[in-house]
Amino acid sequence: MPSKNPTIQKAFKDGMISKGQYEKLSDGLLLGIIKKKKGGGKTKPKGKKEERHKTGKQAHKSGRPKKGSKLEVS
């Protein structure tokens, strides 16, 4: 079912979506595909990186530090 939405029609003419997608998918899905291909999708927020370091007697041992160990936030 071809869409009447001008944004979707333009994306189809520009080759952003295929003929099969244009004919079979709903408007909402097509708009999502267009948004993703343009690069306007969700972006992952940049958070703080946490690094755990072992202290004391555990410092020389290999493996992941336990829950209560020293925490550096960078």
pLDDT tens readout for residues 60-74: 877 776 776 666 666
Q: What token pair was written down for 60?
A: 């020389």
- Count of structural domains within the chain: 1
pTM recorded for the entire structure: 0.53
Residue 46 covered by a domain: no
Q: How many CB atoms lie within 10 A of CB 37?
A: 13
Nearest to 32 by CA among 21, 19, 23: 21
- Residues 22-29, mean pLDDT to the nearest whole number: 93
Residue 24 covered by a domain: yes
The residue among 57 and 70 whose pLDDT is bigger is 57
Residue 21 covered by a domain: yes
Residue 12 covered by a domain: yes
Domain boundaries, position 19? 6-38
Residue 60 covered by a domain: no
Residues in the chain: 74
